[in-house]
């Protein structure tokens, strides 16, 4: 297996102050909720937003005498995630108890993997833009249980606890401290989310808390040893990640430059103020007293199982991005947008498949680009405006490919195509049917175009004279009149050419 | 192994147990005795023994990903000293 280390093809910006230059060092622990029907150690459902405690089992609520049994599919999902992040899969891993008291943790311990996690070191490539790329090392991934949820706002002096989330499988993805800017941190989180969604191992829904990050931040003068790090807990968006880092960098630089020392502590991010505040300091740092869970024997994997999962991996976003650029000549921007989501990519590739079937396995770069334009330009705009998801669109990939062919072979002009698109959007009928029913075919018959030109010239003798005496700006007026005369269906290139000849001939 | 008053207070803190200051010396002595007893395990040479996390089975049994449990919220909160809308009601936790 590849173990590419930290690399970047550019130099990250530093923070330059009056007397000093500072570099930020960032590592992350990302908690990703595993997509599965039932929980990691119990047979209760994992649906978001169910009635309070309706999906808590006696195991999740830690009733005495309950025995946890690991969910095989959750194990597969963790393996899949590890393989997607180029990581080592450990054939033997173990579960440990992480002890702490909190009302949403009924057993008084969380079952986690501390000493031997299921996934070992890996790496991931992250693109900041077309030119800047870096690769980041994954330290390990372990499986653990989620805790229940507390509600603090329902009663003046009570907190309410719902255990529906308790016991849902989480993957904790731990990186090395390889990020050097808030931009890199945000880009990594986005990339990780995309990969997990491609793999189908986490839905990446940050509003519902399916993906949350603890961000470790420290500053140092470039080349110096690592500074004291501060952990900012539970950040649930890329934007908040950037805000929290920005705030921490200035707070820490400020402390050091005024002669103080940064405390190693855990801080909370307040998304309203954009600030972080102290949660607990080192003096009362948590002592989790990890111990092997005697209820759970070691988790043993065999190579066949890993190979089967390896063979089921989809093409990952990085490879897709590269292929779209290489095989179809798509610009980076288009390719990156299409590859950024598995559903979007699938739609676009279905367009290309339709096209390829029609044309003996070939898709020209021209058409691939035209399809991309209609897809991310027009269709996205329509979807946004109607607040619909791609899968709800009446315009199918076959429609889009057909529309592009109608333009390409000259049946309709690009302008008419917009009208056709609009009609297909609302009716769901095929573009060629719409064109036929509405008589929208482009006029390429030269005698018909010449007739329209003759009529326009006839009716605008005064303008013709003005044009001929040097007012060339009027050319656009004539084009407009001819198009009007033909209901916008005349081939624009032919109109231009014929008009020029006619008008200059006098 | 020597157990100090501070060790006792720390362990009590982690276990969320309240200890009166007068009890500390007695408890420290008791804990020291217990640790001393367990410490004898260190006398055994297990250099060549594989770590063992259980004695019954040597590998985890895995279950299929099937929903076959839940939907008894009343029973879940049934023993709680206080509840509201099928949730546990606990003294306010302020972070």
The helix/strand count (H/E) of chain A reads as 16, 18
B53: which residues sit within 8 A by CB, 6+ positions away?
A: A94, A292, A293, A294, A296, A297, A298
* Residues of chain B with C-beta less than 8 angstroms from the C-beta of A161: 87-90
State yes or no: pLDDT of A281 exceeds 80. Answer: no
Residue B64 domain-assigned? no
**Nearest by CB: A37 against B60, B66, B93:** B66
Residue B31 domain-assigned? yes
* Residues of chain B with C-beta less than 8 angstroms from the C-beta of A151: 87
A3 confidence band (pLDDT: 50, 70, 90) = very low
d(CA A15, CA A22): 5
Angle between helices A365-372 and A332-339 (to 10 degrees): 60
The position carrying tokens 């408890």 is B27
What fold is seen in the domain A446-505?
Answer: Arc Repressor Mutant, subunit A (1.10.10)
Task: Tell me, yes or no, if B1 comes closer than 8 A to chain A by beta carbon.
Answer: no
* Torsion sign across C-alpha atoms B39, B43, B47, B52: negative
Nearest chain B residue to A53 by CA: give it: B73
State yes or no: pLDDT of A316 exceeds 90. Answer: yes
Average pLDDT of A34-57? 97
Half-sphere exposure of B77 (CA within 13 A, CB side): 21
Tokens of A213: 């990050």
Query: Which H or E run includes A273?
Result: none
d(CA A408, CA A369): 12
**Nearest by CB: A160 against B58, B70, B89:** B89
C-beta separation of B3 from B32 below 8 A? yes
d(CA A383, CA A401): 18
* A297 to B69: CB separation less than 8 angstroms, yes or no: no
C-beta separation of A482 from A499 below 8 A? yes
- pTM of the entire predicted model: 0.87
* A56 to B76: CB separation less than 8 angstroms, yes or no: yes
In angstroms, the separation between the Cα of residue B51 and the nearest Cα of chain A is: 11
Task: Tell me, yes or no, if B17 comes closer than 8 A to chain A by beta carbon.
Answer: no
Average pLDDT of A64-92? 97
Long-range pairs of B14-22 with CB within 8 A, sequence gap ≥ 24: B14/A99, B14/A287, B14/A289, B16/A101
A336-351: pLDDT as tens digits: 999 999 999 999 999 9
Q: Say what percent of chain A tops pLDDT 70.
A: 97
* Residues of chain B with C-beta less than 8 angstroms from the C-beta of A296: 53-54, 60
State yes or no: pLDDT of A285 exceeds 70. Answer: no
Residue B56 domain-assigned? no
State yes or no: pLDDT of A5 exceeds 90. Answer: no
Nearest chain B residue to A295 by CA: give it: B54
Residue B93 domain-assigned? no
Residue B79 domain-assigned? no
* B93 to A150: CB separation less than 8 angstroms, yes or no: yes
Kindly report the number of other CB atoms within 10 A of residue A306's CB atom.
17
B95 confidence band (pLDDT: 50, 70, 90) = low
d(CA A102, CA A104): 6
A204-228: pLDDT as tens digits: 999 899 999 999 999 999 989 999 9
* B65 to A36: CB separation less than 8 angstroms, yes or no: yes
Model ipTM over 0.85: yes
A395 confidence band (pLDDT: 50, 70, 90) = very high
**Where along chain A do the CATH 1.10.10.410 domains lie?**
446-505
A146 confidence band (pLDDT: 50, 70, 90) = very high
* Domain ranges, residue B25: 5-43
Q: Which of B10, B59, B70, B82 to mutate to test the interface with A (most CBs of A within 10 A)?
A: B70
Average pLDDT of A307-333? 96
Q: Measuring CA to CA, how many Å separate A81 from each of A115, A135, A402?
A: 20, 17, 37
**Nearest by CB: A297 against B16, B53, B85:** B53
Q: Which of A34, A62, A158, A301 to mutate to test the interface with B (most CBs of B within 10 A)?
A: A158
Ranking A76-85, A218-227, A373-382, B45-54 by mean pLDDT, the lowest is B45-54
Residue B90 domain-assigned? no
Per-residue pLDDT, B23: 93
Ranking A265-279, A462-476, B48-62 by mean pLDDT, the lowest is B48-62
In angstroms, the separation between the Cα of residue B84 and the nearest Cα of chain A is: 8
* A297 to B59: CB separation less than 8 angstroms, yes or no: yes
Q: What are phi and psi of A119, to 5 degrees?
A: -120, 130
Long-range pairs of B44-53 with CB within 8 A, sequence gap ≥ 24: B53/A94, B53/A292, B53/A293, B53/A294, B53/A296, B53/A297, B53/A298
The position carrying tokens 């002669």 is A259
* A53 to B86: CB separation less than 8 angstroms, yes or no: yes
A81 confidence band (pLDDT: 50, 70, 90) = very high
* B69 to A73: CB separation less than 8 angstroms, yes or no: no
State yes or no: pLDDT of A238 exceeds 70. Answer: yes
d(CA A141, CA A125): 17
A87-105: pLDDT as tens digits: 999 999 999 999 988 999 9
Report the mean per-residue pLDDT for chain A: 92
C-beta separation of A25 from A227 below 8 A? yes
Give the residue with greater pLDDT, A366 vs B67: B67
**Nearest by CB: B69 against A57, A94, A297:** A57
Q: How many domains does chain B have?
A: 1
* B84 to A154: CB separation less than 8 angstroms, yes or no: yes
* B54 to A294: CB separation less than 8 angstroms, yes or no: yes
* A158 to B57: CB separation less than 8 angstroms, yes or no: no
**Nearest by CB: B57 against A37, A72, A297:** A297
* A56 to B70: CB separation less than 8 angstroms, yes or no: yes
**Nearest by CB: A55 against B10, B70, B89:** B70
Ranking A82-96, A147-161, A416-430, B2-16 by mean pLDDT, the lowest is B2-16
* A152 to B58: CB separation less than 8 angstroms, yes or no: no
A33 confidence band (pLDDT: 50, 70, 90) = very high
Per-residue pLDDT, B13: 87
In sequence order, what are the beta bridge partners of A23?
Answer: A220
Average pLDDT of A255-259? 93
Kindly report the number of other CB atoms within 10 A of residue A44's CB atom.
29
DSSP class of residue A179 equals B
State yes or no: pLDDT of A448 exceeds 90. Answer: no
**Nearest by CB: B16 against A101, A294, A300:** A101
């Amino acid at each position: 297996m590849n173990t590419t280390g930290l690399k970047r093809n550019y130099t990250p910006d530093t923070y330059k102050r009056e007397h000093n230059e500072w570099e930020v060092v960032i590592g992350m622990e990302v908690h990703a909720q595993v997509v599965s029907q039932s929980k990691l150690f119990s047979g209760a459902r994992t649906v978001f937003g169910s009635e309070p405690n309706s999906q808590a089992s006696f195991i999740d609520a830690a009733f005495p005498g309950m025995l946890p049994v690991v969910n095989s599919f959750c194990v597969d999902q963790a393996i899949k995630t590890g393989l997607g992040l180029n990581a080592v899969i450990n054939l033997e891993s173990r579960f440990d108890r992480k002890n702490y008291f909190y009302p949403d943790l009924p057993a008084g311990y969380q079952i986690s993997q501390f000493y031997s996690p299921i996934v070992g070191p890996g790496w991931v490539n992250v693109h900041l833009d077309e030119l800047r790329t870096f690769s980041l090392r994954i330290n390990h991934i372990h499986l653990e249980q989620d805790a229940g949820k507390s509600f603090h706002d329902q009663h003046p002096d009570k907190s309410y606890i719902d255990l529906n989330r308790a016991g849902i499988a989480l993957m904790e993805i731990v990186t090395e401290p390889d990020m050097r800017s808030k931009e890199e941190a945000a880009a990594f989180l986005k990339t990780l989310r995309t990969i997990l969604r491609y793999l189908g191992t986490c839905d990446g829904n940050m509003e519902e808390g399916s993906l949350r990050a603890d961000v470790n931040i420290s500053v140092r003068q470039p080349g110096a040893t690592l500074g004291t790090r501060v952990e900012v807990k539970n950040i649930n968006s890329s934007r908040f990640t950037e805000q929290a880092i920005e705030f921490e960098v200035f707070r820490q630089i400020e402390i050091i430059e005024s002669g103080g020392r940064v405390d190693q502590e855990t801080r909370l991010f307040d998304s309203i103020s954009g600030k972080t505040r102290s949660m607990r300091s080192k003096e009362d740092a948590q002592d989790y007293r990890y111990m092997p869970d005697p209820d759970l024997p070691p988790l043993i994997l065999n190579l066949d199982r890993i190979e089967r999962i390896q063979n089921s991996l989809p093409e990952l976003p990085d490879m897709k991005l590269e292929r779209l650029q290489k095989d179809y000549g798509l610009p980076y921007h288009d390719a990156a947008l299409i590859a950024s989501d598995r559903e979007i990519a699938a739609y676009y590739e279905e367009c290309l498949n339709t096209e390829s079937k029609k044309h003996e396995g070939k898709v020209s770069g021209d058409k691939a680009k035209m399809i991309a334009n209609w897809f991310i330009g027009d269709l996205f705009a329509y979807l946004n405006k109607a607040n619909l998801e791609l899968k709800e669109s009446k315009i199918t990939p076959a429609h889009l490919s057909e529309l592009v062919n109608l333009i390409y072979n000259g049946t309709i002009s690009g302008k008419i195509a917009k009208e056709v698109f609009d009609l297909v959007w609302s009716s769901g009928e095929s573009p060629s049917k719409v064109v036929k029913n509405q008589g929208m075919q482009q006029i390429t018959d030269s005698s018909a175009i010449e007739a329209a030109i003759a009529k326009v010239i006839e009716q605008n003798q005064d303008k013709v004279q003005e044009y001929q005496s040097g007012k060339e700006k009027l050319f656009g007026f004539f084009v407009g009149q001819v198009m009007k005369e033909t209901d916008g269906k005349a081939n624009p290139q032919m109109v231009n050419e014929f008009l020029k000849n006619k008008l200059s001939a006098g | 192994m020597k157990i100090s008053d501070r060790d006792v207070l720390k362990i009590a803190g982690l276990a969320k147990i309240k200890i009166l200051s007068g009890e500390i010396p007695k408890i420290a002595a008791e804990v020291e005795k217990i640790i001393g007893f367990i410490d004898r395990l260190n006398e055994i040479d297990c250099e060549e023994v594989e770590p063992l996390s259980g004695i019954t089975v040597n590998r985890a049994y895995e279950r299929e990903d099937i929903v076959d449990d839940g939907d008894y919220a009343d029973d879940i909160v049934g023993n709680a000293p206080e509840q509201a809308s099928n949730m546990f009601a606990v003294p306010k936790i302020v972070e």
